[in-house]
Every structure is written in C-alpha cells, then in structure tokens.
Amino acid sequence: MSGTARKGVHVWTGRVRDTPAADDVAVLDERERHRFAEYRDAVAAAHYAGARAAVRRTVARWHGVRPSEVVWGTGRCPGCGSDRHGPPLLRAPRGGWRVSVSRSGPWWMLALSRSAPVGVDLELRRPLAVPAVVRRCLGAQERAHVAAAAQGSARDEELLRCWVRKEAVVKGWGIGLGTDLARVAVRPELRSAVLERTEAEGAAARELWVVQDVPAGRECLAALSRPADDTAPLVLRPPDAATWRLAAS
C-alpha cells in the first residue's frame, strides 16, 4: 500500500462468532493463549480469541506480513511511568504506528495512526447501572445532560455515550482508567467535542484533544479521541473477508 493511502487514522470494526475456532486460537501469541485459557465461559472465550485473532490478522494484512509476525508491547504510562499498564504498542513488524483496541461482546474495534496518539472505545448498547456510573465518572454538566434525557433507552444511550467517550480519551492519553473520569468533560450533546488535558492527567503542557462519535453499527456505540491539532483524515475501513467472522446463525 502506498504511503499516501496509509496517511490518517484508520479504523476497523468487526464481529466474531459465538463459538471457538481452532484457527483463531492458533494465531494468538503465548500471552493471548494464556488469557484465552482462563475464561470459564465458552462464549466469552470465543469472543476474546476471535477478536484478538481478527485484530492480529488485520494488522498483519496492513503490513503485508503473517499474523505470527505481529508483536504487541506496552508503553510507559505518561502519568506514573510504569510499563505495566501503559498504552499498547505495535513492536513488530514496524514501529512508529500508534494503536488502540477495544472489544465488547462479539464486537471489536482497531485504530491505527501514524501521525499522533489515538484512543478508541466500543461498547454494546445495554442498560447501565446509572447511579453508580453517574457518581463515579460524570461531571456536573454531564449529569445534567443525562438527567434531561427521557427515561429508559434514551437515558441509557446518553450515559453510554459519556462512558465510551471517556474511555476513548484516557486510552488516547495512555493512562487507562486510573484517572478521575469526572474531570474528563466529553460534551455528549456534541457529535465532536474538544477538551483540555491537564498536568494531573499526564500532560507535559496544555494539550487540547478532540473526541468524536464513530459509526459502529446498530448494536454498539463507539468513540475516538486524538490530539486536536492532528488534522490527518479519519478513514473507516470495512474488515477484510479474512478477518470478519460472522456470528453463527
């Protein structure tokens, strides 16, 4: 693929089967296979193996290598300096690509960026435990926005939009969910919102980030974050036939 075609932030979304597939497990690395073996629920195990295999195959196809040649790593957390919970890194086949991965049930999402850090989050549409989530992660304006929504599915939708945006932002920052999410104001009433990252959140200087909704089908909500000065195009890519595993009928 040409260098021009590779510019921008590239996002793939796919769905995997509910039953385990031997060829999915076969392409996982040792750490992924160990995690797969820890699952006690067969459907959850299938979703994990299928999603990790699909992401690995997508990255491999993007770089023109075999899935076994894809090597993951962990960067250092900008907040505390630890390499135990920092952002994911693509160590091989080529460095320099920023990566973010999300998974919810049978769905997965992958973002690759050459230009700047990126964070994505994907969540199945479902009712959330509103009081607990509100107390933990919403700021005052976000609480008011959610409260103004109609009861039922509309309120669940706005609450979930807040959640996926906040997770996408902290993934982009590389600090995980250890930060105070109530301080991360994501403006759910806007399709795309700008927010400021402070030193308390691992920024060396004043940083502006943008977070936006990303199409992810009728079953999911998704969001993507990146620095506000990153003007590279956002490219939504369909999964390759080799990576998309349709849910069992």
Q: CA 136 to CA 221: how far, in whole Å?
A: 20
Measuring CA to CA, how many Å separate 181 from each of 31, 134, 199? 29, 10, 15
Strands 234-237, 9-15: parallel, antiparallel or unpaired by DSSP? Answer: parallel
**Residue that has been written with the tokens 């999915």 in this structure:** 24
pLDDT of residue 181: 87
pLDDT of residue 200: 60
Strands 119-124, 107-113: parallel, antiparallel or unpaired by DSSP? Answer: unpaired
Q: CA 101 to CA 52: how far, in whole Å?
A: 9
Q: Look up residue 101 and give its two tokens.
A: 């991965």
pLDDT of residue 2: 43
Note down pLDDT in tens along the chain; length 249 residues: 444 456 789 999 999 999 988 999 999 999 999 999 999 999 999 999 999 999 999 999 999 999 999 998 887 776 666 666 677 888 888 777 889 999 999 999 999 998 799 999 999 988 776 667 767 889 999 999 988 987 888 888 999 999 999 999 999 988 765 678 888 899 999 989 998 887 666 666 678 999 999 999 889 999 999 999 998 899 998 766 445 443 322
Run of H or E residues at 170: helix 153-173
Measuring CA to CA, how many Å separate 14 from each of 138, 160, 246? 29, 20, 9
Task: For residue 235, give the nearest of 1, 9, 61 by alpha carbon.
Answer: 9
Question: Would you state the CATH architecture of domain 7-237?
Answer: Alpha-Beta Complex (3.90)
pLDDT of residue 156: 87
Q: CA 95 to CA 10: how far, in whole Å?
A: 16
What pTM does this model have?
0.88
pLDDT of residue 248: 29
pLDDT of residue 247: 32
pLDDT of residue 207: 85
